């Protein structure tokens, strides 16, 4: 029955304990997170692009 541990989360970047309404401990970690999300998004676009190219190649090779 100890309520020592208040509701809290951990910073998604460095793992520091932060209040429940916060996701990051500092602006620096938020920037790092944003950069990571951006990178991941770009990788996804590149993957989709490659899939599209692959499909187009298959369609064209089937016509030959
Ligand atoms: Zn942090």
CA of 4 to the centre of ligand 1 (A): 22
24 class by beta-carbon count within 10 Å (0-12 exposed, 13-18 middle, 19+ buried): buried
Tell me the whole-structure pTM to 2 decimals: 0.64
Sequence ranges of the domains in the chain: 8-63
Helix (H) or strand (E) holding 53: helix 27-63
Q: Which two tokens stand for residue 6?
A: 């208040």
CB atoms within 10 A of CB 60: 9
Question: What is the phi/psi pair of residue 8, to 5°?
Answer: -155, 165
What's the mean pLDDT in 19-46? 96
For the stretch 42-59, pLDDT in tens is 999 999 999 999 999 999
CA of 20 to the centre of ligand 1 (A): 14
């Amino acid at each position: 029955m100890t309520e020592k541990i208040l509701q809290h989360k951990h910073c998604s970047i460095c793992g520091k304990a932060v209040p429940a309404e916060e996701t990051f401990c500092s602006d620096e970690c938020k920037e790092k997170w944003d950069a990571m999300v951006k990178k991941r998004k770009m990788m996804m676009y590149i993957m989709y692009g490659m899939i599209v190219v692959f499909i187009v190649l298959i369609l064209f090779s089937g016509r030959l």
